[in-house]
Structure 1
C-alpha cells in the first residue's frame, strides 16, 4: 500500500512539473516571437519556474528552439520540454500584455490552468488596430521618411502610395509562405518603379528620395536590434542567426532595388539619383515633425500600446535632435547615431515605468527615424556605377545599425546596474533585460 501511495505522489509531482514547464514555455514563446531577445525569454522562464516552486530549472534559447529542463531533487528524474518558434513578427501589444502577465505570475503565482487561460486570452485577443490601419502605419513611415530626407509634396505622396502597396504585396506573399528574401526582392523593386513614375510626372522632383523612403520602411522591421542584443548578452548562436536573417533581408532589398533600376534602364528610363542629402538644423522643425510621423506610423504597424504613444513620439523627436546635433558637430554618422541611441535608451529606461511598457518597445520605436536607409542607398548607387567606395558606404550603414542597438542597450544596462536588477542577474546574464518588467530598486523583491 505504501508503495502505491508513493507512486501516486511521484506521478502527481511529475504532472505538476510538466504543467508548469508547459505554461512557462508558452509564455516565453509569445514574447520571443513578438520581438523579445533570447536573454529576456530565458530570464522569464527561470523566474516563472522559481515562482511556481521548481528550483534548478535550466532554460535555453537557440534561435528558433526554446528548451526547458527540470531535475527533481528527490528522484533526480529530468523532465525536458522544447518548442519550435515557427514564426516571428513584431507585435508590441502582445509583447507588453504577456510581459505584464509574467510580472503578475512572478509576484503572485496563480493556478496553472488559470494562467494558461489568461495567456490564451492575450494570444486570441483582437489586434489593437485593424490590418488596414497597420498598413497605413507603414505608409506613414514611408511618407515621414520622404520628408525627413528632403522630399517635396510629390515625393511624399509617391512614398506613401509605394509603401502602402509594398506592405500589401509582401503580406500577401507571406501568407503564401514565400521566403522572406523574395518578399524583400519584390518590396525593394517597387521603390524604383514608383520613382520612375515620379520622374515622368514631376521632372523637378528627386525620384531617388522615393526609393530611400521605401528602403527605410523595409529596414524598420529588420531584426538588427535583437541580433545585437543577443550577441552582447552572450547568446552568440542566436545572435549570429538573427544577424544572418537581417543580412538576408537586406540582401533581398538591395537585390530588388538594383534589379528594378537595371530593368528600367533597359527600357530607357534611367534613374539618375542623388543620394547625398545632408540633414542640418536649417529645417529642424520639419525634421522633428517628420520623425514623429515615422514613429506614429511604426507604432501603428507594430501595435505599440496607446498609453506609450506620447513617450515614443517625444523620444523619437529627441533621437532626431541628438543625431542632428552630433552630425552638425562633426562626430560622423556612426558616433552621432550611438549618442542618440544612448540618450533615448536612458530616457526609455525611466519612462517605461511611467507608461508600464517594456523598454524594448519604446527604444526600437523611437529609433526608427535613424534607420540608415540613405547611407545604404548611397552605397548601392556607388556600386552600380563601379565605385568601390560603395562597399564603405554599405559597411557604414551596417555600423550605424549596430551603433543604434548597442547604444540603447548600453544605456539600459547602465540604468539597471545602478538601480537593479543587474547585480543579481550578473551571476548568469551579461546584458540588461529589455522586454520584461524589472524592479529599479536596491531593495529585494520577487519581480525580475
Structure 2
C-alpha cells in the first residue's frame, strides 16, 4: 500500500506558476524590461537623426519617469545608449544596451517619435500601445520613393547655384552633378565603403564634371557648379549636434561628432582637390569664385534660391510636407538678413551667425505650429549658408601654391569659423526663444542649453486630467 504524504502544503512548495507574489514579481520585471527597451529604441531613433545627446537623455528620462522607472540611469554616447534600473539597494540592477546602427537623417521618423513621446507623457498611449506604434514607425517605409530623393537633391543643387549667382546653365550642370553624386554614393554605400570615400567620390565627380563642361563651347562658370555641390555634400553633417553637445556638457559625444564631421569634410576636400589636380593636368581651368556685391535686381533670385534649396533639402530628408513651406519662408528671410549684414561691411561669419540666430529664434515657434521638432526646421534652413564657397576658394588657392598658400589656409579657416557661427547661432536663437519656466527647469535640471527635440516641459497631473476631459468631451 502506497504511503500518502498528509503534510499540509506551504507557500514554499508552490511553484512560480501558482505563487501570486512570484507572478507579480515576474510581471514587474517584464514591465521594467519592456519600458527600458522602449526608451532605448526612442533614444536610438533620436540620436541617429541628429538630435543632441542632451535632448536624447532628457527625452528618455521623461518617458522612463512617466512609465514608473524614476530611478533609471541613462548614458548616451555617439555610438551606444545604455540604461540601468535598480528598484532597491538590495536588488540586482537591470542593465540594457543598444548600439546605433545607422545615421541616416529621417525627419519623418523623428517627427513620428516626437509625437509618440508627447502622447506617452499625456497618457494618450500606454506602454504596450507605445511599443506597438514604435515598431510601426521603424518598419514602415516612406511615401516618397528613392528616385524622388534624387530629384530633391537635384533641385537643391540647382537652387544653390542660383543663390550663388549662377545662371540657368550653371543650375542644370549642378543638378546633373548632384544626380550622379547621389547615384554613385548609393552604389558605394551598398558595398559598405566608409562615408569618407563616398564624400571623396562626390567631390571628385562634381569637379570633373564641371571641368568637362567648361571644356566645351557651353558657357558656364565651373567654380559655381563645384561650390553648389560642395554645399550639397556638406548638408546633413552633424556639426550643429556636435556644438550643442559641447555646450550641454556631453564632451565625449561632441568630440566623436566633431571627428565625424571633420572626416566627412576632409573627404570633400580630398575629392575636390583630386578633381582640381586632374583638371589642371588636362589643361582645364576651373577659376576662382569671388563673392561680389549684389544689386537690388539680384536679390529676388538670391532669396528664391536660398528658399528653394532649404525646402528641397527638407524633402530629401523626408520632412513632413506641412513643414516645407515654412522652412522656405524662414530661409528667405534669413538670407535677406545675411545679405543686409554683408552689404553693411561685416564679414561672412558675422552674416552667417546673424542669419542662424534668426533661424533658431523663429524655429521654436514655427515648429510648434506645424507640429514638428525645431530640429526639422533649423537644420534645412541653414543649408544655403554652409561654407562651400570658402572651402572651394581655399582649395583653389592651395592648388596654385606659392604665395597663394597662406590665402588658401585663411579661406579654410574662414570655412571653419562660418560653420561654428551657424551652429552656435541656431542654438543661441533657440535658447532665447524657449521660455525658462519652472516646469522646464525641473525637466532640464541636467541640461545647460535649449531643447531641439522632445518635450519642453513635463505636464502635471492636473493638466493631464484636464486634457483627458477635453478630449472625452
Pairing 1:252-271 to 2, within 5 Å after superposition = 252-269=267-284, 271=285
Q: Which residue of 2 aligns with 1:395?
A: 413
Of 87, 101, 120, which residue of structure 2 is paired with 1:105? 120
Count of aligned pairs between the two proteins:
446
Q: Distance in 2 between matches of 1:281 and 1:93?
A: 39
Report if the CA contact (8 A) 1:129-1:303 is conserved.
yes
Alignment of 1:216 with 2:234, yes or no, is: no
3-state DSSP class of the match of 2:96?
strand
| TM-score normalised by L of structure 1 | 0.95
Q: Which residue of 2 aligns with 1:249?
A: 264
Q: Which residue of 2 aligns with 1:58?
A: 73
Report if the CA contact (8 A) 1:151-1:209 is conserved.
yes
Q: Which residue of 2 aligns with 1:436?
A: 454
Report if the CA contact (8 A) 1:137-1:297 is conserved.
yes
Q: Distance in 2 between matches of 1:235 and 1:445?
A: 32
3-state DSSP class of the match of 1:66?
strand
Q: Which residue of 1 aligns with 2:137?
A: 122
Q: CA deviation at 1:71?
A: 1.2
Q: Which residue of 1 aligns with 2:291?
A: 277
Q: CA deviation at 1:200?
A: 2.1
CA separation of 1:441/1:2 partners in 2, compared to 1, >3 Å: closer, same or farther?
Answer: closer
Alignment of 1:379 with 2:394, yes or no, is: yes
Q: Which residue of 1 aligns with 2:343?
A: 328
Listed as ranges, the gaps of 5+ residues in structure 2 are 1-9, 468-473
Deviations 1:330-375 (A, max 9, x none): 2211111111111111111111111011001101111111111011
Q: Which residue of 1 aligns with 2:166?
A: 151
Q: Distance in 2 between matches of 1:439 and 1:353?
A: 13
Q: Distance in 1 between matches of 2:461 and 2:171?
A: 52
Alignment of 1:34 with 2:34, yes or no, is: no
Say which is worse superposed, 329-338 or 354-363, in terms of deviation.
Answer: 329-338
Report if the CA contact (8 A) 2:121-2:459 is conserved.
no
Coordinate RMSD, CA, aligned: 2.1
Report if the CA contact (8 A) 2:362-2:433 is conserved.
no
Q: Which residue of 2 aligns with 1:411?
A: 429
3-state DSSP class of the match of 1:201?
coil
Alignment of 1:240 with 2:258, yes or no, is: no
Report if the CA contact (8 A) 2:353-2:424 is conserved.
yes
Q: CA deviation at 1:296?
A: 1.9
Report if the CA contact (8 A) 1:51-1:109 is conserved.
no
3-state DSSP class of the match of 1:388?
helix
Q: CA deviation at 1:272?
A: 3.4
Pairing 1:171-210 to 2, within 5 Å after superposition = 171-202=186-217, 204-210=219-225
CA separation of 1:171/1:188 partners in 2, compared to 1, >3 Å: closer, same or farther?
Answer: same
Q: CA deviation at 1:111?
A: 3.9
Report if the CA contact (8 A) 2:246-2:254 is conserved.
yes
Q: CA deviation at 1:77?
A: 2.6
Say which is worse superposed, 231-240 or 119-128, in terms of deviation.
Answer: 119-128
Q: Distance in 2 between matches of 1:407 and 1:262?
A: 36
Q: CA deviation at 1:35?
A: 2.2
Q: CA deviation at 1:419?
A: 4.9
Report if the CA contact (8 A) 1:145-1:369 is conserved.
yes
Report if the CA contact (8 A) 2:440-2:457 is conserved.
no
CA separation of 1:330/1:445 partners in 2, compared to 1, >3 Å: closer, same or farther?
Answer: farther
Say which is worse superposed, 175-184 or 8-17, in terms of deviation.
Answer: 8-17
Q: Distance in 2 between matches of 1:117 and 1:212?
A: 45
Report if the CA contact (8 A) 1:206-1:274 is conserved.
no
CA separation of 1:357/1:79 partners in 2, compared to 1, >3 Å: closer, same or farther?
Answer: same
Q: CA deviation at 1:109?
A: 6.2
Listed as ranges, the gaps of 5+ residues in structure 1 are none
Q: Distance in 1 between matches of 2:143 and 2:406?
A: 46
Q: Distance in 1 between matches of 2:446 and 2:33?
A: 24
Q: CA deviation at 1:414?
A: 1.8
Say which is worse superposed, 391-400 or 110-119, in terms of deviation.
Answer: 110-119
Q: Distance in 2 between matches of 1:420 and 1:404?
A: 29
Q: Distance in 2 between matches of 1:376 and 1:359?
A: 28
Q: CA deviation at 1:8?
A: 3.8
